[in-house]
């Protein structure tokens, strides 16, 4: 019965659109991409926050019960916080939701707004690419000098390289989002 009701609603909408001589609104490529329920940045940010909560909770309980702290929790939490920041930067770059001065942007005409948006896209892409390249250079140096994280006893480049890849993802998402929005003011 419920399936039929769904079909009836869908058919009624089509009938209304036909009767009103309107076509169904077409979704732009940006809307199609935004409508996907899970994106990589969302998953990474969710996992990072969940792990930070679990580590902090375990540290508090362990400290309360045994008066001993987990030694590696701070370094892992810092890494997860950076992971969260770069995943958020990639998502904000793609959705064009970075902080900007709206009153200057809104006071301009359509063509100037389009140019300002594209300038913002390319500057964001440039900065994230530069940070990614610097992090890759840092990871190469950490690999060459065999630096280790003291409390985890793992190579430091294991933590630096994923951050460089996330910056690269952010730069790519900024450029891709800007390409999709190139005609929108």
Per-residue pLDDT tens over the stretch 41-89: 888 889 999 999 999 999 999 999 998 888 889 889 999 999 999 888 8
Cα Rg of the chain, angstroms: 23
**Where do the structural domains in the chain lie, given as residue ranges?**
2-180
Cβ 73 vs Cβ 55: under 8 Å? yes
Distance CA 171, CA 148 (A): 28
Digit-coded pLDDT (tens) for 100-153: 777 777 888 888 888 888 888 899 899 999 999 999 999 999 999 999 988 888
């Amino acid at each position: 019965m419920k399936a039929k009701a769904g079909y009836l609603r869908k058919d009624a909408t089509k009938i209304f659109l036909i009767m009103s001589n309107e076509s169904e609104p077409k979704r732009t490529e940006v809307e199609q991409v935004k409508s996907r329920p899970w994106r990589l940045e969302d998953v990474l940010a969710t996992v990072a926050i969940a792990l930070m909560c679990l580590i902090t909770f375990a540290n508090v309980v362990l400290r309360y019960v045994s008066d001993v702290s987990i030694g590696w929790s701070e370094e892992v939490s810092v890494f997860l916080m950076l992971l969260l920041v770069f995943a958020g930067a990639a998502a904000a770059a793609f959705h064009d939701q970075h902080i900007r001065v709206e009153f200057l942007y809104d006071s301009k005409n359509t063509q100037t707004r389009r140019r300002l948006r594209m300038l913002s896209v390319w500057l964001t892409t440039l900065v994230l690419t530069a940070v990614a390249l610097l992090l890759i250079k840092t990871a190469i140096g950490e690999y060459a000098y065999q630096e280790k994280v003291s409390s985890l006893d793992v190579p430091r480049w294991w933590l630096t390289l994923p951050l460089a890849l996330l910056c690269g993802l952010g730069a790519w998402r900024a450029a891709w989002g800007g390409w999709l929005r190139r005609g929108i003011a």
